[in-house]
Amino acid sequence: MSQLQRITINPQQLQASQLLLTSQQQHYLWRVLRLQDGDQFIAMDGMGKWWLAQLQGEQAQILEKLKTNQELPLSITLMMALPKGNGFDEIVRYSTELGVTSIVPILSGRTLLNPSSQKLERWQRIASEAAEQSERTIVPTILEPVTFNTAIQNCTSNHRYICEARGNYPHLHHIINNITDQIYEIMIAIGPEGGWTDQELEIAVKSGFIPISLGRRILRAVTAPIVAISLIAAKFES
């Protein structure tokens, strides 16, 4: 199956066993990928479902629903303070490749950037492309940027951690190795280049976040999520 091209579709495009293709998708399949009538490809709804489809003009015939197991057995939410420049693009791309489920962009005290609304669309597109490239069955959800306080208050998971580059906090590796019960959800908060303010750290701890370390070296804001997600994936991936 891996050699087949994949496109992301909206489930509303499915009508019985027909997939109605948008003009953009037709262009992509016909002109960019150079598929022809009768060629097969994979349609993904970005929410875990994959179908084997066969191109037929402006439509495609759904041949079968596919079984996939590319996803991690738990959901990972990355609460990520917006770094400067285009750093968030890289964070979205790498986190998606590594298996993140959702990303919450945070406007924190030391965030320098106030993103335009086009940014969200850009990040969603990057997540979609990275999910396709990594053959994931879901496209991570990228939420609207929120303030630090809103993000912290909306947090419901029993397993929530805030990464802090300085201080003598337990290592994430150590913490997750001590988890013995089945867990379904984990939330990780990571600060911007300037780090969290003392007050933010305090608010997070009061809201049930456990401060953790990712090792003794100070990582860049772009590197920290890669380390955190890799450690979680390594522990829980069966």
> Is the Cβ of residue 4 or residue 155 nearer to ligand SAH in the bound state?
155
CB-based contact 123:142 (threshold 8 Å): yes
Q: Which is nearer to ligand SAH, 21 or 204 (CB)?
A: 204
User: Would you say 87 or 115 has its CB closer to ligand SAH?
Assistant: 87
| Residue 84 structure tokens | 């400067």
Tell me the window of 4-12, 96-104, 177-185, 194-202 that interacts with ligand SAH (CB under 6 A): 194-202
Q: Residue 156's CB: how many other CB atoms inside 10 A? A: 10
Of 206 and 217, nearer to ligand SAH (C-beta) is 217
Terminal alpha carbon distance of the chain: 22
The residue within the footprint of ligand SAH, chosen from 77, 96, 111, 213 (CB under 6 A), is: 213
Closest CB to ligand SAH among 43 and 187? 187
Centroid of chain to Cα 113: 21
Contact with ligand SAH (CB under 6 A) among 45, 132, 164, 200 = 164
- How many CB atoms are located within 10 Å of the residue 64 CB? 10
Smallest gap from Cβ 107 to ligand SAH, in A, equals: 14
> Is residue 221 a contact point for ligand SAH (CB under 6 A)?
yes
Within 8 A by CB and 6+ apart from 226, the residues are: 94, 95, 98
What is the rounded distance in angstroms from the CA atom of residue 105 to the CA atom of residue 91? 10
Q: What are phi and psi of 222, to 5 degrees?
A: -75, -30
Query: How far is residue 47's CA from residue 114's CA, in Å, rounded to a whole number?
Result: 29
Of residues 104, 163, 201, 231, which one binds ligand SAH by CB under 6 A?
163
Interface residue with ligand SAH, options 41, 148, 161, 196 (CB under 6 A):
196
| Interacting residue ranges for ligand SAH, rule: CB under 6 A | 163-166, 190-191, 193-196, 213-215, 217-219, 221, 224
